Structure formats: structure tokens, C-alpha cells
Amino acid sequence: MNFKEFIKDWRVILLIVLVVGSIGAISTYGISQGLDLRGGSTIQIHLAEPVDASTMSTVTAVLDKRLNAFGVTDVTVRASGNQDVIVQIAGVKPEDVANIVGTPGKFEAKIDNQTVLVGSDITTVKPYTVTGNNWEVPFTVSSAGANKFAQIAQGKAGTPVDMYLDGNLISSPAVGADLANGVPSTDVQVSGTNQTKTAAEQEAKSLQVVLQSGALPVSVSIVGVNAVSAELGSQFKNGALIAGILALLVIAVIVFIRYRTPVLVIPIIITSLAELVLILGVASVIHWTIDLPAIAGILAAIGTGVDDQIIITDEVLKKGVATKRTATALKFKINNAFFIIFASAATLIAAMLPLAYVGITRGVTGIGVLSGFAFTTIIGILIGIFLTRPVYAKFIELLLGKDRKEEKATVRDTRTSKPSKKGKKKKGKKGRKKT
């Protein structure tokens, strides 16, 4: 075939440039991987009622502060709509997740079942101290809170102060003698003892975090957790890679059985790999996160790509009326193939749009995760129909140019012949190219 002409085609050049560019982009920017591939957790928190934007920002700020207090660094807290918050934490083991955000609620302190303090009374929380097995958490409360506390705590030294989070008792330190004298004090501290120094430290730390986050203006609950360990994430990645390679091998074998020639197997595999690189390149440039649903989307796009290449190949190899001038006939056949390709791409994109829409309105939890699948499929299909498939068609077109001379003699006679078992035999019979 005329390789020189192939390499000079503008779309071929564009494809090569973009593939090289994609590889460059991937190696420069990298590909941001979803938490399901690198290990981490996604937690969906639901608020008791819809809130306005400023309340929502208080909620996310408080949650963020709490997570940071626990020493979690790689964390994002963001609002999803006006009633949901999504927390994403990288590199934390699944069992640690609930310890960190497991009690995201509303703070209340009670003495003898009377509420003495609520979350919004607490103004600042100071660093805790641990001496031996004893711990102390000092904090300041508003003067209103201090008055209320002083009133109820008067004469009740030694009575437990029950601290609740979302109605669950989390700590019951006793009222200190200095707070039971009826004089309001804005400087308060909670202290306690635990069996070991580590345990004491832990208790102090968790109480501190609870006090800090007590200022949540609305009660919240965890409605969804999705956590994957880093080991499992990398197993997923390797598994997807192996499955992808196997799938491609199976396709290669089937294409070979059908056409009996490596000349067609190789370009189909190369085209599929080029599509993969281009999709990942786009993902790298626009910082699109590749997670498991996105991998499924890539597989779907490449799968339809293989289908389309088979359509192009068969359309061009197929026998037909030989009276038309061959160069136009070939163009005509390729146009036929592209009618089918554009039509099926349009229907698939139409089918994917509702999913993409769900993702925009819903965020990336629940069924919203499928929007990643939908977007990746759509990107893959667009790359395919505008770039890789035309190049493949050009390749097939030029491939026929070579065979034409050898089989020129058999040009007519196709109308009555039985369908050939092997499409390849018929190839080139009328595939004349211009020039």
C-alpha cells in the first residue's frame, strides 16, 4: 500500500501529533485517580433540613476543621446541593473513617437532664494537656452559656456533666468544685482519667474535636460510606489492566479468524490503543478523575470503536455493483460506513445524556457516580468518530489501492456469486483509489 500517502494525510498527522501530545500530557500532569483506585473514602453526610449558602459553608468549614484536628491531611469537604455534604479522604483505612466522622452531630451538655451547654455556646477550644494518665481540655464559652452553666451547676460539685452528640452519651466528666460556686466563668475545662497515657490522649483529643465541631448549626447524619483500602485499589487497577489486555487479545483473535490476515488485526489493535491514550490524555489535561466507572466508560468507547472498525472494513471489502467508477465507489462505501457510525454514535450519546445530567444535579454519589461513566463514554466516542475512525478508514482505503492491481481481472461478476466466506478474498476488487 501507499504508506507515504497515508502518512501525509492531515488526519493521520493530527492523530500522531495528538497521541504524542497525550503521552506528554500524561507524563507531565499525570492522571488523577479516583479514591476507588488509589485507596480512600467517600462519605456522604445528610443535613436534617435544607440550608442556605452561608449555613452550608459553616457546616463544611466545621467538618473540615474536625478532620484536620484528627490529623487527616488529604481531605476535601464540599457541599452537594443544599442538604448534602460529601467528604473525600485519601489514604485512610476504611475502619478509621467512622472514627473520624462517625459522630458528626449536634453537641449538648446536660447536668441532671437539664441542658447547660449547646454547641453554639462554645467559642473556642484550647489545646488539651495530658499529665500522666490525666487529661484536660480547656475551652471558652459565651457569657450566656457561662451564666446558664453557673446557674445549673451551682452546688453540684461531683455531679456528672453528660455530654451528648446526636443524643449519644460520649463523655461524663464531673463538675469541678470551681464551677459549682454559682459564679459564671467563660473559661471552662473538662478533665478525666484513663488507664494509659495513650488512652488518655485519645480521649482528650476526641473530646476536643467534638467540642470544636459542636458548633454545627444543624444536625447531620452519615447516609453513605464508600471506603477502599490502598491495596485493594491497586488490585482493582491491575485487574482492570489485565482484563483490558485479555479483552483486546480476544478481539484480535476474532478479527483474525474472520479476515485471516494480520494486516487488519494490527491496525484495529493500534487504533484501540490510540483511543485509550487519547482518552487518558484528555483526562490528564482537563484533570478528569479516572475511577472504576470511568474505566468502564473507556471500555465501552473502545468496544464501540472496534464495532465501527469492523463496519468500515466490511463495507469496503463488500462486493457490490461494479459499474460505478471505482474511486467514487470506494468513497461511497466509506460514506456508507460513516453514516452507520455517526448514527449509532448519536444514539449512544443520546442515551448517555440523562446519566450525565443526573451527575450534574446529584454530585458524584449514589447513581451520580455513573455520570463519570457517561462523560468518559461520550469523550471516547467523540474522539473515535472524528479522529481515529477516519484514520482507520484512510488506512483501509489505501490498503485496497495495493490489492487493486493484483485482482483487477475479477472486477465484475459479483451480482450472482454466493457470499464469500472470507471477506478478504473479495477485497480490492473494485477498490480503486484516485491518483
Footprint of another protein on 66-105 (CB under 8 A):
93-95, 97-99, 102
Near another protein by CB under 8 A, which window of 71-79, 159-167, 282-290, 332-340? 332-340
If the CB atoms of residues 390 and 423 are measured against another protein, the closer one turns out to be 423
Q: Choose, by CB under 8 A, the member of 52, 113, 132, 231 that binds another protein.
A: 231
d(CA 355, CA 372): 9
Near another protein by CB under 8 A, which window of 61-69, 153-161, 235-243, 391-399? 235-243
Q: Choose, by CB under 8 A, the member of 9, 314, 403, 407 that binds another protein.
A: 314
Sign of CA dihedral 108, 111, 115, 118: negative
Q: What is the DSSP string of 111-161?
A: ETTEEEEEGGGEEEEPPPEEETTEEEEEEEE-HHHHHHHHHHHTT-TT-B-
Q: Choose, by CB under 8 A, the member of 11, 362, 402, 425 that binds another protein.
A: 362
Burial zone of 401 (CB within 10 Å; 0-12 exposed, 13-18 middle, 19+ buried)? buried
CB of 18 to another protein, least distance (A): 24
- Cell 484513663 locates to 194
Interface positions, 397-416, toward another protein (CB under 8 A): 415
Q: Choose, by CB under 8 A, the member of 116, 209, 227, 282 that binds another protein.
A: 227
Number of residues that bind another protein (CB under 8 A): 80
Interface positions, 286-305, toward another protein (CB under 8 A): 292-293, 296, 299-300, 303-304
Contact assessment for residue 240 and residue 294, using Cβ atoms and an 8 Å cutoff: no
Residues β-bridged to residue 187? 140
Q: Residue 171 to residues 25, 191, 212, 215, 388: CA-CA distances in angstroms? A: 53, 10, 15, 17, 64
Sign of CA dihedral 308, 312, 313, 318: positive
Q: Choose, by CB under 8 A, the member of 351, 386, 412, 413 that binds another protein.
A: 351
Near another protein by CB under 8 A, which window of 105-113, 169-177, 200-208, 310-318? 310-318
Biggest distance spanned by C-alpha atoms of the chain:
114
CA triple 43-45-50, angle to 5 deg: 150
Q: How many C-beta neighbours within 10 Å does residue 292 have?
A: 18
Q: Choose, by CB under 8 A, the member of 270, 348, 382, 411 that binds another protein.
A: 348
d(CA 397, CA 427): 11
CB of 420 to another protein, least distance (A): 9
Interface positions, 372-401, toward another protein (CB under 8 A): 373, 377
If the CB atoms of residues 107 and 236 are measured against another protein, the closer one turns out to be 236
User: Residue 278, interface with another protein (CB under 8 A)?
Assistant: no
Interface positions, 129-158, toward another protein (CB under 8 A): none
User: Residue 177, interface with another protein (CB under 8 A)?
Assistant: no
If the CB atoms of residues 13 and 250 are measured against another protein, the closer one turns out to be 250
d(CA 188, CA 75): 31
If the CB atoms of residues 3 and 339 are measured against another protein, the closer one turns out to be 339
